[in-house]
Amino acid sequence: MIRKTTFLLFGILLLFLACNRSIKNIGNSSPKADATTGATKKSSLHYDKEKHLKNLKQITFGGDNAEAYWSFDDKSLVFQVSNEAWGTTCDQIFMIDREHPQTKNKIPQLISTGRGRTTCSYFLPGDSTILYASTHLADKACPLVPEKRADGKYVWPIYSSFDIFVSDLKGNIRKQLTQTDGYDAEATVSPKGDKIVFTSMRTGDLELFTMNLDGSDIKQVTFDLGYDGGAFFSPDGKKLIFRASRPQTDDEVRVYKELLNEGLVMPIHMELYICNVDGTGLKRITDLGGANWSPFFHPSGQKILFSSNHASEKGFPFNLFMINLDGSGLEQITYDGIFDAFPVFSNNGKWIVFSSNRNNGGTSETNLFLGEWID
């Protein structure tokens, strides 16, 4: 999926300009209130207002760790990492065991090829293979990151060299699922183990598609102009939740198309949408402003967890929120001073994993945190 790194860099820049003191407070185990959120900490990991989280622990240490997704048996997690200490200058896919996660002195098992840039790994049924998107067929080197634009627009790159692959757990690619020109990425698997949803540029716009596990029977789900991505299935496999940036005015449409022609999108304004797997019943469930993204279904199938900066005056922090499917009952879940995102429930609904800047000692490191969920 489009990476959180650019969100983080954007937030860090604003932080240094407007609130440098908050960075120094990250990782402080004293009970002082965070200058940005107003929440105090129970420990170096856990804020006192985070009532839905229990026994929170850090499971990665160092680098940029994000988008951790569960095996069907809830014993393992695959995730993407950029960590020069591990020899990864841009995102690669690694795997850890839930009961015996990473230690500070041990590098987890590499699943991807180590070439190109990867994103969005996800276990397939049986837990012996995963799928992920990679640019390695185009170039073994990391693709270039867009230079800072003269017009000041904050943008994400949409690499046309991304395709979706299936790999075994030893890093051997077993199959290539997409072969069309243009961006194919952000793939996730239904909990029912029968479908994949992904984002593709194959129609000239960034739309959602579904396919069978073998890459067959590709069907388009969304059709409206704008970026549709980061989709996940509901627990019963019948619905999709996703983020979308939908230009409305003539000027917004013009800017969106111009950027897309350059292989870029501008993700400052995103809201959450829900639909049936075939695309029917489409509706927007947030109207909060700002960037609302990385949604995931609550185990009940009746609520959504997501990351948002809608309550932030300076563009940060990003925290986790929960909302009902009809857009009611908005509730803040985390209270970090910089960045929390990518909440993912285990299949049994007992655990939650997410990415955060908490406890990073004032650095820009983003790590994975695992806790028990309390309703």
The CATH number of the domain where 329 resides is what?
Answer: 2.120.10.30
Place 154 in a pLDDT band, splitting at 50, 70 and 90. Answer: confident
Q: Are 271 and 288 in contact (CB under 8 A)?
A: yes
How does pLDDT run across 83-95, given as a tens digit for each residue?
Answer: 998 989 899 999 9
- 301 or 28, which is more confident: 301
For residues 158 and 2, give the distance between their C-alpha atoms in angstroms, rounded to a whole number.
8
Domains held by the chain: number: 1
How does pLDDT run across 258-294, given as a tens digit for each residue?
Answer: 999 999 999 889 999 999 999 999 999 999 999 999 9
* Single pTM value for the model: 0.90
Place 150 in a pLDDT band, splitting at 50, 70 and 90. Answer: confident
Question: Would you state the pLDDT for residue 246?
Answer: 94
Q: Are 63 and 81 in contact (CB under 8 A)?
A: yes
| Residue 91, CA distances (Å) to 2, 40, 116, 166, 199 in order | 11, 33, 8, 17, 19
- 100 or 4, which is more confident: 100
For residues 296 and 240, give the distance between their C-alpha atoms in angstroms, rounded to a whole number.
9
Range of the domain at 139: 5-373
How does pLDDT run across 221-230, given as a tens digit for each residue?
Answer: 999 999 999 9
- Does residue 23 carry a pLDDT above 50? no
How does pLDDT run across 218-251, given as a tens digit for each residue?
Answer: 999 999 999 999 999 999 999 999 999 999 999 9
- Does residue 156 carry a pLDDT above 70? yes
- The whole-chain average pLDDT of the chain stands at 89
**In the chain, % of residues over pLDDT 70:** 90
Question: Would you state the pLDDT for residue 54?
Answer: 96
Place 19 in a pLDDT band, splitting at 50, 70 and 90. Answer: very low
3-state secondary structure 53-83: EEEEEECCCCCEEEEEEECCCCCEEEEEEEE
Question: Would you state the pLDDT for residue 1?
Answer: 54
Helix, strand, coil % over all residues of the chain, rounded to 5: 10, 40, 50
Least confident range from 61-75, 101-115, 348-362: namely 101-115
- Does residue 127 carry a pLDDT above 90? yes
